[in-house]
Each structure stands twice: as C-alpha cells, then as structure tokens.
Chains A and B, each alone.
Chain A
Amino acid sequence: MRVTVNGQPHETAAATLAELLSELNYDGAVVATALNGEFAPKGQRLELAVTENDQIEVIAPMKGG
C-alpha cells in the first residue's frame, strides 16, 4: 500500500507504525511521530495500524530559535 512519510510517497506492507519505522531504519533513533495529523505516542506505535494513504510524520530534535 501507498503511504506518505515526511511528505514523500512510500510503498509498504507494514501493518503498524512500529513496523513502518523499523522498515525505514528508525530503530534506536530518538523520534516522535504523528499519524494523519494526530500525535502518535511512542507507547502506541505497536498498536497503531497503518492504512492506505496514511500521512505519517517522523520528527527529531533540531536546532531552533
């Protein structure tokens, strides 16, 4: 199925947000996530299902003013 990760299209068979993050090499990284504009807490990634056309944001600490 097709999803969008950080604004880029991505083909995946991942069933959950946790699987998708693993597929995209985020294991061990300090990141926070949002699914379709809603905050997706770390503790819920194993249960959160990924479905066709989902919009996923994966963000990390960055410099800022």
Chain B
Amino acid sequence: MSLDLYGTTVQSRLLLGTSLYPSPAIMLESLKASAAEIATVSLRRESGTERAGQAFWSLIKDSGVQVLPNTAGCKTVKEAVTTAQMARELFDTPWVKLEVIGEDDTLQPDVFGLVEAARILCFEGFEVFPYTTEDLVVAEKLLAAGCEVLMPWGAPIGSGRGLNNLYGLRSLRAHFPKVPLVIDAGIGLPSHAAQAMEMGYDAIMLNTAVAKAGDPVAMARAFAAATDAGRTAYEADPMETRDMAAPSTPVAGTPFWNN
C-alpha cells in the first residue's frame, strides 16, 4: 500500500493542505485524523513585528508531517521559480508543488509557463510536483522536463466538483501507468477521492473539502477511509461493467421454471 514519491516512501495516500481551517488546533487535529504524512504549505509576506509565519511554522514542524511547499498565486515563470528557490531555503526541502496560474476564475494552470518553470527547477535539482491538467501532451512535456510525479486537477481549486473529466483522467492514467499521479484540486467528497483511487490514481491531494466541512476532523477521517478503500478496491481488480443484467443467483433449479 506504500507510495514512493521521489524516493520518499509514505504509507498514507492522502496529502492534506493546511489552509482555511477554523483554527490552528483544528488544522492539527485534522492532519492527525487524516493520517496524512505530507502537508502542503505556502510562503507569504512576513511583517517583522507581527511574525505570523513564525507561529505557523512552529506548529507544522511539531506536527511531524513532511512539508510540500507550493507556489500558489504565482502567475509567471519568474515568480514561480523565485518562490520555489525561497521555499527550498525556508523549508529545507527540494520538493515543490509547482503552480503557475493562468486564469483567475478557474485557477487553471498556465501549462506553457508550468512546463518552462518545471524545466528550470528540475535542472536546479528541485523535485517538482506540477499542478497540471489532464492534458497528455503537457504531461509528456513535464516528464521530459524532469518531473517524476504529476498532479492533475480533478476540478478547479476549491470547487468541490470532483472529477470533471473522467475520460481525460482515465486516458492520463492509462498513458502513464508507471508515473505517480496525484489528483490535486477539486475534490469535494470522500466518494470523489475513492473514485479517483479506484481508477488507479496513486494519491489524493486536497484541502478545502476538509477545512471547510462542518466538522473538519471527522471529514479528514472520512477522506482517509475513502482513499484507503479506493486503493484497496483498485488493487482488488474491480469487475468489468456490462450493459445488460447478469443474474448473480444460479438460474439452474429456479422454482417454477419450465424451460
């Protein structure tokens, strides 16, 4: 059941974000309930007098999770690369969840900028987790740039719509059977997570669906169970679907059957 990401082995296939929770205490409880071993974090401007980031960083360090810094909000290659470089120094990790946002309403990736930024960062020794779409050609280019993990969206960030393009996501999975694929963004319900895992996706990355639930801790637990269930189902090799009914109860010996 374990998952290998750039040589790091984790048992949990759920990655959790650290934003939007009602309180830091609930964030920590949710992380624990999710059993996530990897949590995303970001970088923001710090005031020398308020130092809000220092307290947050203490909490995360004490939680013991491995951090995956993002470049959320970056709209250009230059911004994303500089943010990644700052993240590497700040968090002392080569990991970066690379986001180059191309459109404000959907927060969809600028895939052209994404590939270029990925190429630069991989060359500089980063281990890049690119937030991308289900586009196969973009995926090929990201892998050629040096990415060893891909993070296609399920739906726009924070939308909770689940898997918007099942055909595209199935194609992506089928085209890259050996590449760790993590569904990132758009997951709203545990059933969405289970569905992606049943399709053979390697892991789920989410934030809003847990943080904005009425009971984030319980929802974190539900997502952990759904992710595990989906993975177990995938490994159990689900039955083929068919168009017409096929009786499960033996036909032979049916009472009152006169043929």
A-to-B contact residues, CB < 8 Å: 6-7, 21, 24-26, 29-34, 37-39, 41-42, 57-65
Contact = CB atoms under 8 A, between A and B. Distances in A.
A6 to B, nearest CB: 4
B27 interface: yes
Contact of B43 (A25, A32, A38, A41): A32
Main secondary structure of the interface of B (DSSP, over half): mixed
Contact of B41 (A25, A32, A41, A64): A64
B109 to A, nearest CB: 14
7 contacts: A31-B90, A58-B48, A59-B53, A60-B52, A63-B56, A65-B72, A65-B207
A57 B89 CA distance: 14
A34 B44 CA distance: 12
Given A61-B56, A65-B42, 16 more contacts: A6-B46, A7-B45, A25-B49, A29-B54, A31-B46, A32-B43, A33-B86, A34-B82, A41-B89, A59-B44, A59-B86, A61-B90, A62-B52, A63-B42, A65-B20, A65-B72
A8 to B, nearest CB: 9
